């Protein structure tokens, strides 16, 4: 049984996973620091996560560095077989993992399982690593000279992941890195750390050697250690834009390769010719699924024309009011609680701010309470109409179940909204007109575009990443970009002489 599940008391003391085994955190009585982990549905304290010191983080880096030479020299086929076994183990334990995600993040079980499945798709892609690492070969580029390239691992890589996808986002990072021959140190969110620990156990059970995957729970002290340690060669981050900027700047300054994903404000344009029932259903799932706590959530709807706007609002108001909010383990729940009480108060504050700024509050989620769990971190779906681009609820990422509606008079006015926003993660358009859709996809300034698809997260064999202040770095996550990020190219020019030695050549080497 997992050590994550088998702690003896209701409030579990979590640890780290270093060198292939669970490592306890430092006892708070002896100067150690801990963060509290809550069950968002009940509001009860469920665990204590140790906040690693610099020394503890360096211990994990050292174990990863020691494991790297042997793992890098392991054949890609052997590494792929470990990934196949890891995939099988995650599938076998998906119900357990979903309960862990639901119990610490608050996702409903169906959403938790879906997020694990999207992470597994990257593991499936990583299983093809023997093919993905193949280089290029040019025969006889000159007399007796061949040129070929190879992709080789970097060394120790680090991942700093957010609270909203404690299974999926880590599985977007470490399987690709490890399959490429690197070793990895994962720093999950201290708000929901148990899933990362369990995934590390399953990776060891799959046959990865000790030290190949390490998990360090912590806060800024652990992060800064990872960003500054010269043994760490690459850093992948997902979180808010201010922290993404900090991670990118700090790690880059220390000579590391970085992919740093920041915040978002994703728009969905609804054209007059769209199927409004389909658009409303898409908005419900995209805005309120996972309680809006996802960087690809639709948080701005842009209906074009007054008729479209009025009809869409009349369709959506009862749908938002009737949204089934409940405990994450309730199979009838469509939306669970927010992750912490502090985040709940933050979202409530944004709703209050929207009313002060003059937006029309059609459905107020602050009125919601769950009788069975009065201390849970619950809020209902919120719908604002007649929002303007000058308002904070439009400009800033709320990261909660709040949908803002900005009415546009024309396609050009609608297109300008995502193009002029500081974020450029995802965007969608609903229309029956192929010319409009093609024009939109070509001109919109966002990294991921959906056409009649509200949340256009690419499948694992394509790459995930935004534009503008939604991403810092040159290479996206998973897919071909993920292989490039976690490897570097070495090009070999080889001569096998035939005949007479040509003697010293002092000029620029040229083809002859």
**pLDDT score for 437:** 98
Residue 408 tokens, joined: 């546009």
pLDDT at 7: 38
Task: Kindly give, in sequence order, each residue whose CB lies less than 8 Å from that of residue 283, ignoring residues fewer than 6 positions away.
Answer: 268, 298, 301, 316, 403, 454
Examine the residue annotation and report whether 446 is marked as an active-site residue of this protein.
no
Classify burial at 300, counting beta carbons within 10 Å of its beta carbon; exposed 0-12, middle 13-18, buried 19 or more: buried
pLDDT of residue 3: 37
Task: Please report the pLDDT score of residue 144 as a whole number.
Answer: 84
Yes or no: say if 409 and 305 are a contact pair by the CB < 8 Å rule.
yes
* Biggest distance spanned by C-alpha atoms of the chain: 91
Looking at 157, 180, 195, 295, which residue is catalytic?
Answer: 295
Q: In 3D, which of 213, 226, 132, 232 has the Cα closest to residue 173?
A: 213
Residues of the chain with pLDDT under 50: 1-9
Q: State residue 8's pLDDT score.
A: 38
Nearest to 3 by CA among 146, 140, 198, 276: 198
For residue 376, what are the CA distances in angstroms to 39, 221, 245, 255? 8, 30, 33, 44
Please say whether the beta carbons of 76 and 131 come within 8 A.
no
pLDDT of residue 6: 37
Task: Answer for the pair 118, 340: CB distance below 8 angstroms, yes or no.
Answer: no
Q: Domains of the chain by range and CATH? A: 12-262+470-490 (3.40.605.10), 266-451 (3.40.309.10)
């Amino acid at each position: 049984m997992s050590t994550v599940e088998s702690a003896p008391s209701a409030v579990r003391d979590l640890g780290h996973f270093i060198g292939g085994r669970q490592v306890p955190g430092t006892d708070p009585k002896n100067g150690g620091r801990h963060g509290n982990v809550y069950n968002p549905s009940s509001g009860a304290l469920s665990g204590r996560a140790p906040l690693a010191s610099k020394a503890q983080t360096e211990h994990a880096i050292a174990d990863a560095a020691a494991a790297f030479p042997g793992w890098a020299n392991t054949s890609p086929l052997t590494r792929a077989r470990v990934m196949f076994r890891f995939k099988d183990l995650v599938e076998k334990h998906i119900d357990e993992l979903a309960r862990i995600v639901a119990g610490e993040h608050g996702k409903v079980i169906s959403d938790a399982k879906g997020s694990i499945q999207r992470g597994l798709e990257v593991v499936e892609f990583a299983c093809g690593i023997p093919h993905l690492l193949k280089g290029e070969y040019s025969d006889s580029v000159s007399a007796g000279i061949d040129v070929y390239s190879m992709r080789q691992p970097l060394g120790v890589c680090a991942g700093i992941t957010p609270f909203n996808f404690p299974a999926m986002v880590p599985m977007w990072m470490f399987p690709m890195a490890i399959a490429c021959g690197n070793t990895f140190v994962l720093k999950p969110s201290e708000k929901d750390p148990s899933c990362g620990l369990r995934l590390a156990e399953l990776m060891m059970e799959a046959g990865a050697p000790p030290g190949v995957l390490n998990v360090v729970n912590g806060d800024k002290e652990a992060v800064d250690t990872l960003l500054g340690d010269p043994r760490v060669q690459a850093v992948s981050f997902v979180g808010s834009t201010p922290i993404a900027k900090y991670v990118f700047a700090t790690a880059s300054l220390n000579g590391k390769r970085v992919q740093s994903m920041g915040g978002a404000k994703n728009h969905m344009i609804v054209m007059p010719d769209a199927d409004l029932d389909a658009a409303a259903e898409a908005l419900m799932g995209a805005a309120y699924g996972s309680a809006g706590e996802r960087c690809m959530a639709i948080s701005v709807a842009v209906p074009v024309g007054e008729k479209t706007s009025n009809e869409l609002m009349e369709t959506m108001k009862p749908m938002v009011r009737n949204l089934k909010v409940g405990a994450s383990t309730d199979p009838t729940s469509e939306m669970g609680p927010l992750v912490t009480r502090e985040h709940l108060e933050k979202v409530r504050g944004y709703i209050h701010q929207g009313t002060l700024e003059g937006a029309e509050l059609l459905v107020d989620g602050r009125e919601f309470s769950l009788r069975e769990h009065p201390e849970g971190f619950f809020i209902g779906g919120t719908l604002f109409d007649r929002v303007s681009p000058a308002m904070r609820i439009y400009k800033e990422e709320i990261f909660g179940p709040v949908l803002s509606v900005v009415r546009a008079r024309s396609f050009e006015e609608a297109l300008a909204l995502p193009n002029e926003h500081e974020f450029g993660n995802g965007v969608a358009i609903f229309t029956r007109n192929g010319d409009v859709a093609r024009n939109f996809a070509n001109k919109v300034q966002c990294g991921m575009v959906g056409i009649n698809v509200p949340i256009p997260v690419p499948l694992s064999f394509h790459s995930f990443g935004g534009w503008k202040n939604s991403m810092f770095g040159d290479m996206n996550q998973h897919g071909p970009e993920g292989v490039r990020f976690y490897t570097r190219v070495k090009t070999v020019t080889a001569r096998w002489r035939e005949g007479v030695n040509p003697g010293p050549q002092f000029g620029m080497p040229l083809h002859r």
